[in-house]
Amino acid sequence: MKNRIISAIVMIAVFVPLLIIGETPFTIFMTILGVLGLYEIMHIRETKKPFPLFVKILAYLIVIFIATSNYKSVEFIYNVDYRTMTFIMFSFLIPMVYINDTEKYNINDALFLISSVLFIGLSFNLLIITRNANINYIVYLLLITTITDTFAYFTGLLIGKHKLCPKISPKKTVEGLLGGTFMGTFVASTFYITAIDSTYPLIIILIMTVFLSLIGQIGDLVFSMIKRYYSRKDFSTLIPGHGGILDRLDSIIFVALAFVFLLGII
């Protein structure tokens, strides 16, 4: 518990100033987190079979490129066009022919890397652009995930009786999900009305926030399922008491992706 508290204080002390500063310092920081996130997801996959070194280096370079792509933009758009997509696919498919050994590198490896670099790269690029657009947006998203996770934990601890997904995350409960969603929606919606747009219809804000709170919890379960598939408790031990980067950012990644999806609709 002591290590967990100290790590949390250090994370806040580093993250908050960079969030306030924004621009290049925040971009560099988030890109580093993206690279570490890619390392974690590749490393957990390599418990079954290692990737060729040059393919891993290529994956890191592509994630850096995607995460920093048009990072000064204030528009919520994905900055990966068809040429970039083609380059990414060729980058991981063509080495199969060059290596010419399915024991060392095969189609499953290539597809895993294609999906991983796109998922990690786009997610962190989106977090960077969200901060550039309006710092209050990313604070809103962080409030959703933080308050939801906190109250889901305590609600489940105090009154949780019905298991949510016992085969994926045995400690999560239906009561925790409901308690976390309620408080996450209340706090984050209040912030949205106060700091972002008080003229926006309240019902839309509430529906959007409930949806994002639920998506964040689903994101947590998705990453838990990945860890369970590879028989791992955490993605890494990078953050003492907390696990790895993806253990801490699993919810916010899904929430950020869903937020941009909603903005395109409403």
| Whether residue 83 has pLDDT greater than 80 | yes
Could you tell me the CA-to-CA distances from 158 to 92, 151, 185, 216, 244 in Å, in that order? 48, 10, 20, 22, 27
pLDDT digits (tens, 9 = 90+) for 176-235: 999 999 999 999 999 999 999 889 899 999 999 999 999 999 999 999 999 988 888 889
The residue out of 78, 108, 133 marking a domain boundary is 133
* Number of neighbouring beta carbons within 10 Å of residue 10: 12
pLDDT bucket at 75, cuts 50 / 70 / 90: low
- The mean pLDDT value for 91-115 works out to 92
Burial class (CB in 10 A: 0-12, 13-18, 19+), 53: exposed
Is 236 inside a domain boundary? Answer: yes
What does the pLDDT read at residue 261?
84
Is 3 inside a domain boundary? Answer: no
Is 12 inside a domain boundary? Answer: no
Q: How far apart are the C-alpha atoms of 222 and 224, rounded to whole Å?
A: 5
244: left (phi over 0), alpha (psi -120 to 50) or beta: beta
Total domains present in the chain: 2
| Domain containing residue 122 | 20-133
Is 159 inside a domain boundary? Answer: yes
pLDDT digits (tens, 9 = 90+) for 55-69: 999 999 999 999 998
In this structure, the answer to whether residues 110 and 70 fall within a common structural domain is yes
In this structure, the answer to whether residues 144 and 247 fall within a common structural domain is yes
| Whether residue 79 has pLDDT greater than 60 | no
In this structure, the answer to whether residues 152 and 247 fall within a common structural domain is yes
| Whether residue 78 has pLDDT greater than 70 | no
The residue out of 69, 104, 133 marking a domain boundary is 133
Phi, psi of 177 (to 5 degrees): -60, -45
pLDDT bucket at 7, cuts 50 / 70 / 90: confident
Phi, psi of 113 (to 5 degrees): -70, -40
pTM of the model: 0.89
- 125 within 8 A of 68, measured Cβ to Cβ: yes
What does the pLDDT read at residue 44?
93
Phi, psi of 172 (to 5 degrees): -80, 140
The residue out of 113, 133, 153 marking a domain boundary is 133
In this structure, the answer to whether residues 150 and 193 fall within a common structural domain is yes
Give the single-character DSSP code of 171. E
Is 221 inside a domain boundary? Answer: yes
In this structure, the answer to whether residues 216 and 92 fall within a common structural domain is no
What does the pLDDT read at residue 9?
86
pLDDT digits (tens, 9 = 90+) for 119-169: 999 999 999 998 988 899 999 999 999 999 999 989 988 887 888 888 888
pLDDT, mean over the chain:
89
